[in-house]
Amino acid sequence: MNKSEFPLDGEFLARRFESHRSHLRAVAYRMLGSGAEADDAVQEAWFRLSRTDARQVDNLGAWLTTVVGRVCLDMLRSRKSRAEEPWEGGTADARVAAVSVGADPEQDALLADSVGVALLVVLETLTPAERLAFVLHDLFAVSYEEVAEIVGRSPEAARQLASRARRRVRGAEAHDADRVRQREVVDAFLAAAREGDFDALVDLLDPDVVARTDVGVTTGAAAVAKGASSFRHFGAVSRPALVDGVTGLAVFIDGRLDRTLAFTFVRERIAVIDIVLDAARVAEQEVTLVG
């Protein structure tokens, strides 16, 4: 929306904000692990918007995501300085119960189901900056440039923050994940891609799946499934593999490793697909064929 197209009418601005509320709450929940704190962060974003000349906002959704990110970062840093946890209980059962406490228990339960308590527990081990970089970039496809602006570092430093967080998350997943089941899902994904079976691909993907390549990001099950259909001609030259210890695929062209796909899973669905095309980056990866 162009600046000149953004009216100052308070009711209209409130409606525009409400249209982004569910997304903002999802971002805040994944950052904070608490429904009540997520509501506080979203409310603070509204306060800041109401005090801003909305005509100066080119992209309201991006602006609000940035504001919520900064608010959550401040809250996480404050929490760390007090050595506090977002949930009162330390056990998994207590954490599950606490997730459902907030202004909207039903929404909290849905968010908890989509994120997974295990992931929230792992996120608690990250530094505030690592957590923000991972959540915004890996889960919501926010660019490293935008993440860098929020954390006050360079884009390369933001990339490194997300990379460290990603390794820690995947390392935790490796201890608990069912490798056999992951392999079955990847095999089904490959078979569906070979056949161009859109519906089967969507069933295997998390609704908020993110597919990242060296040149761009695709989000959402429908968009990723559509893109995966173009992968069908690589099906015959793809092999199941562990890519830097993560369940994935290795693609060979004329006997040479050409590209890799690494999968992150949430509740037995594919939530993130990291596709590396750059030859130099592929050469740096540890790829072990399986099966």
Quote the Cα angle for 140-208-276, to 5°: 70
Cβ pair 183, 247 in contact under 8 A: yes
C-alpha span between 191 and 152 (Å, rounded): 44
| Res. 43: pLDDT tops 90 | yes
Per cent of the chain over pLDDT 70 is 78
- What phi-psi label fits residue 102: left (phi over 0), alpha (psi between -120 and 50 degrees) or beta? left
Q: Span 56-63, mean pLDDT?
A: 85
Lowest mean pLDDT among 47-56, 63-72, 192-201: 47-56
Q: Span 10-39, mean pLDDT?
A: 86
Q: What is the pLDDT of residue 174?
A: 54
Cβ pair 287, 243 in contact under 8 A: yes
Per residue in 111-146, pLDDT tens?
A: 444 445 456 656 777 889 998 998 898 888 888 999
Helix (H, G, I), strand (E, B) or coil at 105: helix
Q: What is the pLDDT of residue 47?
A: 92
Cβ pair 142, 151 in contact under 8 A: no
Q: What is the pLDDT of residue 168?
A: 74
| Res. 167: pLDDT tops 70 | yes
What would the two tokens of residue 74 be? 């401040």
Confidence of residue 252 (pLDDT cuts 50, 70, 90): very high
12 DSSP assignment? H
Q: Span 172-201, mean pLDDT?
A: 81
- Spatial neighbors of 202 by CB under 8 A, at least 6 apart, are 221, 222, 225
Q: Judging by beta carbons within 10 Å of its beta carbon (0-12, 13-18, 19+), is residue 23 exposed, middle or buried? A: middle
Helix (H, G, I), strand (E, B) or coil at 126: coil
Is this prediction's pTM over 0.85?
Answer: no
Helix (H, G, I), strand (E, B) or coil at 245: coil
What is the distance between the terminal CA atoms of the chain, rounded to a whole angstrom? 51
Say how many C-beta atoms besides its own lie within 10 A of residue 75's C-beta.
21
Helix (H, G, I), strand (E, B) or coil at 31: helix
Per residue in 218-242, pLDDT tens?
A: 888 999 998 887 777 777 788 899 8
Q: What is the pLDDT of residue 71?
A: 94
Of the two residues 103 and 257, the one the predictor is more confident about is: 257
> Up-side HSE of residue 158: CA atoms within 13 Å toward CB?
20
